[in-house]
Amino acid sequence: MTIITPVAFPAARMRRMRRDPFSRNLMRENVVTAHDLIYPVFILDGTNQRQQVASMPGVERVSVDLLMKVAEECVALGIPVLALFPVIDQSLKTYDGIEATNPNGLVPRAVRELKRNFPELGILTDVALDPYTTHGQDGLPDETTGYIMNERTVAMLTRQALAQAEAGVDVVAPSDMMDGRIGTIRTALEQQGFIHTRIMAYSAKYASAFYGPFRDAVGSAANLGKADKNTYQMDPANSNEALREVALDLAEGADMVMVKPGMPYLDVVRRVKDEFKVPTYAYQVSGEYAMLKAAAQNGWLDHDKVMMESMMAFKRAGADGVLTYFALDIARKLKAA
């Protein structure tokens, strides 16, 4: 697209419209509302449990009883969806991550409790094995080569997604990057009668160093050690490949697609939105949050201003919504304004 400027200075003075608040308001192209937010929360077993996440100031892991207070505030602020990430006890972690499929595991229990108390609040659950495995990988490694086995992982993920759907979750979000998982999960959901369960596919999920604090938060960092996820997550060098991933996930039955990380990948968000024009989301991941928080804590950046500006940047790039650990802070600020 070429920008046609019919006139030059001084007929065109770009600063005229910027001069007063009324004309700035009048020409604003994008807006951030509480409805754009998805709030990720880390959940724990037990009751009345609350732990700070050291590398994510202001973020805590909470037990399911305390999660209800969080949900209540989300509803009051107009945040449409809460995303659950479990902290699984080491004693429940195995090589195959079978606890992920337990219909009475932490995540299904939290989903039931949330839907019972707040039926109007959307609940999203992650589909991946890393919180449940002793090696911290999202799938099942071949015992000799360590290569993550695609089809066997997809079979486990499908059981995990069904356990979440049975518990009443609204959105399942496969974050594992196996090939064909969206199609297999969609078929299983349809066959079991879960025709309303939405799938938000982590379609363009990159092998990123920005996930570090998250792996601390769910306790998978130590298990993963020096290993990487490069055989399934995408190479940060690529964006044509992201379009192909999105096309496949849509063909397999995804309702929504996601790009992750967020701020360093806004070019990918824009390309996906322009190409497919489907509901498109971005994940402002743990490392992005940690980076902004650390600078703000040092007094180097204005916390609220960079938080709101980063959210506007996602909207401008074409995101319909953003998973962000700032969701509560943003919604509170919007309400107060």
Contacting residues toward ligand PBG, per CB under 6 A:
126, 128, 130, 138, 175-176, 211, 214-215, 285-286
- Please name the residues in contact with 26: beta carbons below 8 A apart, sequence gap of 6 or more: 17
Of residues 243 and 285, the one with the C-beta less far from ligand PBG? 285
User: Which position among 69, 93, 115, 205 bears the catalytic label?
Assistant: 205
Of residues 184 and 220, the one with the C-beta less far from ligand PBG? 220
Q: Give just the sign of the alpha carbon dihedral 286, 288, 289, 290.
A: positive
| CA 150 remoteness from chain centre | 22
**Selection from 110, 103, 32 nearest residue 71 by Cα:** 110
Of residues 4 and 296, the one with the C-beta less far from ligand PBG? 296
Q: Give just the sign of the alpha carbon dihedral 145, 141, 259, 284.
A: negative
Question: Does 293 participate in catalysis according to the annotation?
Answer: no
Q: Which residues pair with 256 in a beta bridge?
A: 200
Q: Smallest distance, Å, CB 206 to ligand PBG?
A: 9
3-state DSSP assignment of residue 123: strand
Q: Smallest distance, Å, CB 2 to ligand PBG?
A: 38
- Please name the residues in contact with 193: beta carbons below 8 A apart, sequence gap of 6 or more: none
Q: Smallest distance, Å, CB 324 to ligand PBG?
A: 9
Of residues 17 and 222, the one with the C-beta less far from ligand PBG? 222
- Please name the residues in contact with 215: beta carbons below 8 A apart, sequence gap of 6 or more: 136, 221, 224
Of residues 40 and 80, the one with the C-beta less far from ligand PBG? 40
For residue 298, count CB atoms less than 10 angstroms from its CB and return exposed for 0-12, middle for 13-18, buried for 19 or more.
exposed
Of residues 36 and 130, the one with the C-beta less far from ligand PBG? 130
Question: Does 260 participate in catalysis according to the annotation?
Answer: yes
Q: Smallest distance, Å, CB 175 to ligand PBG?
A: 4
End-to-end Cα separation, the chain, in angstroms? 36
CA atoms of 152 and 96, how far apart (whole Å): 10
Q: Smallest distance, Å, CB 19 to ligand PBG?
A: 40
CA atoms of 257 and 247, how far apart (whole Å): 10
Tokens of 8: 């030059």
* Residue ranges with strand state E in 34-167: 37-44, 50-52, 60-63, 81-86, 122-127
Q: Smallest distance, Å, CB 284 to ligand PBG?
A: 8
Instruction: Output the residue with the shortest Cβ distance to ligand PBG.
Output: 214
- DSSP code for 138: S
User: Which position among 93, 229, 260, 293 bears the catalytic label?
Assistant: 260
The answer to whether the beta carbons of residues 41 and 65 sit under 8 Å apart is: no
The amino acid sitting at 282 is A
The amino acid sitting at 147 is Y
Of residues 117 and 216, the one with the C-beta less far from ligand PBG? 216
Q: Smallest distance, Å, CB 48 to ligand PBG?
A: 25
Q: Which residues are catalytically annotated?
A: 205, 260
